[in-house]
Structure 1
Amino acid sequence: MNEVSNEFLNRVSSLIEEAKKNVKTAVNIAMVYTYFEIGRMIIEEEQNGDNRAEYGKYIIKNLSSFLTEHYGKGYSVDNLKLIRRFYTIYKTNSIGETVFPQFKNYPATVTGRKFYLSWSHYLKLMRITNIEERHFYEIESVKNDWSLSELKRQYDSSLYERLALSKNKDEVMLLSQKGQIIEKPADAIKDPYVLEFLQLPELPVYSEIELENKII
């Protein structure tokens, strides 16, 4: 009896793994869009009340009880407050659709906003109060397919601040619009990821000779 080749088995396995990844991505994206719309609906319903602060508490408490009864865990009062906050933060702060043309077929919310990351990513991003910095980490997470742990690692290593120190004001503004852009080979060498890997200090300015000497 002939044995099936490992190459064949691996190709089938890869197909299944890719399908599982796609399903996971689809579920995560659907969750984020759903939470955004729930947040929008909570805000709009709050605006219908006379005493908005008190009515807001009433809405979230009652909505939590209703959703928990019908759909189980995930809709506690605290979670609904996070969902409400998610909408208030992201209803207008778009990172720009031209950055990710490969996601042009993604759906858009009623406000025109598109989302590309998991809910866990956005929970981390929402804690970043600086809008430009938040945009930067969101862009880099999508461009580089960062996992949540990688996003946390890069944030904890102050990647945005380290990049900002080595760029002028115009370039820092571009960080929040397009992320980190590598245009020349020298830019790649000055990349904080590369410097980190080579264990070189980050300086505002590196001459090419200095870089070559330190790398050698």
Structure 2
Amino acid sequence: MENEKINELELVENLYVRVKNILENGRAKAFKVVNTVMIESYWNIGKEIIEEEQRGENRAEYGKYVIQSISEKLTKEFGKGYSKQNLWYMKQFYLTFPILHSVRGELSWTHYRLLMKLKNNDIRNFYMIETIENNWSSRELDRQISSLLYERIKMSKDPVTVKELSVVGQKVETAHDIIKSPMVFEFLGKGDYTISVESDLESALMDKLQLFLLELGKGFSFVGRQKRINIDGDNYYIDLVFYNYILKCFVLIDLKMGKLTHRDIGQMDFYVRYYEKEIRLDGDNPTIGLLLCSDKNDSMVKYTLLDDSKNIFASKYQFYFPTEDELIEELEREKLSLELEYND
């Protein structure tokens, strides 16, 4: 009798889960439809305002009068959401996205308000594509724009391929494609952690694993921390291990608080070679080693690595958003470095 009761409870619970999934899927579909209709309506309202303004003799003054009058009438009849500010955004929405089919229903009105602040079409298109592909919330989109993701990726791209960022977003095809420098760990928060050694940084990043994965880039899944390697009874530990399902390879990360040394690079070279021989499966691509450090000497990295160590990278990290001046300075350094390397 007792077993029958347990079975009945399990059946009811299973039914509840199935019904709950139906409702959640239905709500998600309904939200997407409603959101698409709302976005299209806002675009059409902006279009009507622009066309009406163009019929007026004094466009600036007449435009203010139109928005003020329409705002008062709409607010009285439809309630909040039709303030002068919001109507101005709708007007800008139409001007920014003059073709309706370029407006994507996957994005919310808050997403579009953030995108409209970007004056460059290529940069705006890049963030639109990345938001849709990675399912970013408006808060995450704001964070990525504020941390100048486009500029950081652009620094590591060949000028010939930079234009593709605005057409297809960030393509991940080679090991080099997934490395950003600098990486920004502002999500750790000021004062939340006392970070003085690598283990402190490792623990802090694990506490914020989801945001760390977003900062790393596309296709990362977490495998483990302090992964042990045993060689003839001696134990070695890799700080963080990930698997990138786009590149189909392991990504080994070692954290360093200061400037890299040749020993750090040699140790990572050892980790990568071990994974290549002992862990990597048939069908996997070559293992990537990434040294995250607060400072690096590019020449030392270049001359320390052997010719066959093509998949070991060093990337800087910082705990705050880079300023535009800092990025411009970094771009100039990168440009000079490339010119010197080319001339060599």
Shorter-normalised TM-score: what interval? 0.7 to 0.9
**How far apart are 1:52 and its partner, in Å?**
1.6
Contact 1:136–1:160 (CA<8 Å) still a contact in 2?
Answer: yes
Residues 24, 155 of structure 1: CA spacing in aligned structure 2 closer, same or farther, 3 A cutoff? same
Superposed CA deviations along residues 44-83 of structure 1, whole A, max 9, x for unmatched, are 0111112222211111111111111110111111111111
Contact 2:46–2:94 (CA<8 Å) still a contact in 1?
Answer: yes
- In the alignment of these two chains, the number of paired residues is 196
% identical equivalent positions? 38
Please, which moves more after superposition, 55-64 or 190-199?
Answer: 190-199
SS in 1 for 2:86: helix
Matched, 1:143 2:133: yes
Which residue of 2 is the match for residue 165 of structure 1?
A: 155
More strand by share: 2
Output the amino acid matched with 1:148: S
Matched, 1:3 2:9: yes
Which residue of 2 is the match for residue 90 of structure 1?
A: 97
Q: Structure 2: any 5+ residue segments left out of the alignment?
A: 184-214, 221-241, 243-252, 256-291, 316-344
Which residue of 2 is the match for residue 14 of structure 1?
A: 21
Instruction: Give 1:77's match in structure 2, choosing from 81, 84, 89.
Output: 84
Output the amino acid matched with 1:46: E
Matched, 1:209 2:309: yes
Please, which moves more after superposition, 134-143 or 19-28?
Answer: 19-28
Contact 1:136–1:175 (CA<8 Å) still a contact in 2?
Answer: yes
Q: Provide the rounded CA distance (Å) in 1 between the counterparts of 2:125 and 2:293.
A: 26
Q: Structure 1: any 5+ residue segments left out of the alignment?
A: 93-108
More helix by share: 1
**How far apart are 1:132 and its partner, in Å?**
1.3
Residues 46, 214 of structure 1: CA spacing in aligned structure 2 closer, same or farther, 3 A cutoff? closer
TM-score by structure 2 length?
0.51
Which residue of 2 is the match for residue 103 of structure 1?
A: none
Q: Provide the rounded CA distance (Å) in 2 between the counterparts of 1:121 and 1:213.
A: 34
Which residue of 2 is the match for residue 99 of structure 1?
A: none
Matched, 1:152 2:146: no
Contact 1:125–1:137 (CA<8 Å) still a contact in 2?
Answer: yes
Which residue of 2 is the match for residue 175 of structure 1?
A: 165
Matched, 1:55 2:62: yes
**How far apart are 1:11 and its partner, in Å?**
2.4
Residues 168, 201 of structure 1: CA spacing in aligned structure 2 closer, same or farther, 3 A cutoff? farther
Which residue of 2 is the match for residue 38 of structure 1?
A: 45
Which of structures 1 and 2 has the bigger CA Rg? Answer: 2
**How far apart are 1:189 and its partner, in Å?**
4.7
Please, which moves more after superposition, 186-195 or 55-64?
Answer: 186-195
**How far apart are 1:158 and its partner, in Å?**
1.8
- The 4+ residue runs of structure 1 with deviation greater than 6 A are 202-208
Residues 187, 213 of structure 1: CA spacing in aligned structure 2 closer, same or farther, 3 A cutoff? closer
Output the amino acid matched with 1:171: T
Residues 63, 161 of structure 1: CA spacing in aligned structure 2 closer, same or farther, 3 A cutoff? same
Output the amino acid matched with 2:96: I
